[in-house]
Structure 1
Amino acid sequence: MKYKDVDSYIASTEPVSHPILRELRDIILNTITDPNESISYNVPFYKFEGVHVGFAAFKNHATFGIGADVLSDERREELKKKGYQTGKETIQIKYTQEVPTEYLKLLLKEKKAKAKAKNI
């Protein structure tokens, strides 16, 4: 299925995922000034300052893609201690977990600052 926008993507996922997906979307939209919201690779993507972040729904978790430039080994270890699984560029949030809102905001702000510094 091809999604025309983020609303249709979220609506197509299992209802258990909706609160977390909406929260991830809100965190991005309220932390990054005017990101370009779109569907890329058939999942929500947010482009700003020449970089992007995104999220996707899976059976038991949502994945937040932030990038290895801000998700260091140390940060992945911190998240692991809090019960989150991570990949090199992603954070998995189980539908039974709280979204680490403040942590994601910190990572987004850092990513934006790094990208802006490169584009100056």
Structure 2
Amino acid sequence: MKLTFWQRCAVATVGGLTVLGLASPAFAISSDTTGSNAYGDSTGTWRVYDTKCDSESAYGNYIEKGTTGIQRKNNNSGCNTHSEGDIGSAITSVQACRDVTAGRDNCGGWNEW
């Protein structure tokens, strides 16, 4: 049996909406500072890049959906490297940071809110 024009339109609409529903992209957020880049997304994936060749390591501060407090993720591997992992739930806030050896950490006041 051949479908009518309106039946074909209905099938195409339902099929299109199904594809859109299954293909919802993950949102991603990132933060940059001198020597560090931090990334997080709605699946819980995080990455911290050390982007400066110095003796100061990079880290990221992350807030996970539905939890309180900040989770710190370190990258102590050195120049032009990254660390990565999975927190488990969506990451809702990210801040790139560096450990400053002889001074105040550039993220010193971030967790005061």
TM-score range, shorter chain: under 0.3
> Which structure shows the higher strand fraction?
2
> Which structure shows the higher helix fraction?
1
Q: What is the TM-score of this pair, normalised by structure 1?
A: 0.26
Larger radius of gyration: 2
Q: What is the TM-score of this pair, normalised by structure 2?
A: 0.27
